[in-house]
Amino acid sequence: MSAQDSIMPTHSPAMAEPPQAEMTAAVEPALPLISIEVARSLFAYGPSSPYYASFAKGGEMSQCLPSINQSAPAVVRASRAEVAAAMAKHSRVLLQFSGGKDSLACLYLLRPYWDRLTVMWSSRGDPFPEVVELLAQIRPLVREVVEVSGNAKAHIEKGIYPVDLVPVPGTWLGRTLEPATAPFIFASRYDCCTENFWKPMAHATEAGGFDLVVRGQRDSEAKRAPFSSGAVDSGGRTYLLPLQHWSKQDVLAYLHAEGVELPRQYAYGLSSLDCLHCTAYLEENGGKRRYLRDFHPEAAIEYERRLRLIQGAQEREHRLMRIALGEIEPAEGEGMGD
């Protein structure tokens, strides 16, 4: 599947035949006639319809739009209104984009404003090629795409592996105080993301002079920044979270209605594709090894090798915990001092 498949509508939007009564109510007899195709497009997409702009410029047809737009689910209508209000108040608008379903939904909510939109994406220095391709497809559609880099790949090539549960003997300080021959160091995933993702992204956002930052953050997500839509940071930037009150199902239904195919990693239980060689965030990467094997076989071999190194260190800590709890007997001096 090409990235084009991911970003551009790939099927006719699933659209139930509008009840005759609603269609009749939406197009009053006194108004000029519009074709059924145009009516359906407006009915399904509202402001995202390619016909919307010409209708919205004024004239008799614009009177049709309020009733036609009632067809969108309430969360979508509320978010479109929130986006429209924010766009009217701000001039430098940034979408922080990951390539996952939530940021894709935001991109589509912002469709009427693509000519004003900067899309910022963090490659962290170790991107999946399909995400690079996706951004290349978005680039001509919006005002600009800005790639923020990082050193995740160099980090990992130096033998610094991000992990969820850090065995401290494997940290940089642990390696210093407990000399070992292991040619790798473990780092907390949050330290790794701070260095290679969050800080570079924050600096680029600040340097870009944006006054509105849009993110695909939802309250129903397990991991999210601790603020709400409308928050203003110390630099005076307003944060717009148009999906804040959406469920995962709302996002999937919206993308389906927009005719946007989910990126292929969703079939593997993955969400956004972050760093190709990342060995952390395992709670959401159970299908990563299988995905890598199917699409990036060389990376799959290296990914598995690193996971096994991490597993060995974590199992030692797990055994020591069981000895400390008296669940197992120590073997070969484990749990005993010098």
Contacts with ligand SF4, residue ranges (CB under 6 A): 124, 152, 162, 189, 192-193, 196-197, 274-275, 278, 280
Question: CB 202 → ligand SF4: shortest distance, Å?
Answer: 14
Choice between 76 and 273, CB closer to ligand SF4 = 273
Choice between 257 and 299, CB closer to ligand SF4 = 299
Residue 282 phi/psi, 5-degree rounding, is: -65, -20
Inter-CA distances, 83 with 3, 47, 65, 78, Å? 26, 11, 17, 9
Question: CB 280 → ligand SF4: shortest distance, Å?
Answer: 5
Choice between 31 and 225, CB closer to ligand SF4 = 225
Question: CB 222 → ligand SF4: shortest distance, Å?
Answer: 16
Question: CB 156 → ligand SF4: shortest distance, Å?
Answer: 7
Classify residue 225 by burial, with Cβ atoms within 10 Å: 0-12, 13-18, 19+.
Answer: exposed
Choice between 90 and 124, CB closer to ligand SF4 = 124
Which residues are CB-contacts of 312 (< 8 A; sequence separation ≥ 6)?
none
Choice between 111 and 124, CB closer to ligand SF4 = 124
Question: What DSSP letter does each residue of 205-218 carry, written as one string?
Answer: HHHTT-SEEE----
Q: Does residue 105 contact residue 243 with C-beta atoms inside 8 Å?
A: yes
Query: C-alpha dihedral over 106, 109, 111, 116, to 10 degrees?
Result: -70
Question: CB 103 → ligand SF4: shortest distance, Å?
Answer: 15
Compute the distance between CA of residue 164 and CA of residue 34 in angstroms, rounded to an integer.
57
